[in-house]
Amino acid sequence: MPSIDSKDIRKIIVACDAGMGSSVMLASQLRKQLKSQGIEVAHTPVNSIPSDADVVVCHAGLADRARKTAPDTVLIPFQIFIGDPAVTALVTTIKNGGIVNA
**pLDDT tens figures, 32-72:** 999 999 999 999 999 999 999 999 999 999 999 999 999 99
Is 16 known to be catalytic? yes
Beta carbons within 8 Å of 28's beta carbon, 6+ residues apart: none
Which of 9, 15, 16, 56 is the catalytic position?
16
- In angstroms, the first-to-last Cα distance of the chain is 6
Q: Which domain does 31 fall in, by range?
A: 3-101
Q: Kindly report whether the global pTM for this prediction surpasses the value 0.85.
A: yes
Q: How far apart, in whole angstroms, are the C-alpha atoms of residue 31 and residue 39? A: 8
3-state secondary structure 26-57: HHHHHHHHCHHHCCEEEEEEHHHCCCCCCEEE
The model's confidence at residue 17, banded by pLDDT at 50, 70 and 90, is confident
Residue 9 has pLDDT above 90, yes or no: yes
Number of domains forming the structure of the chain: 1
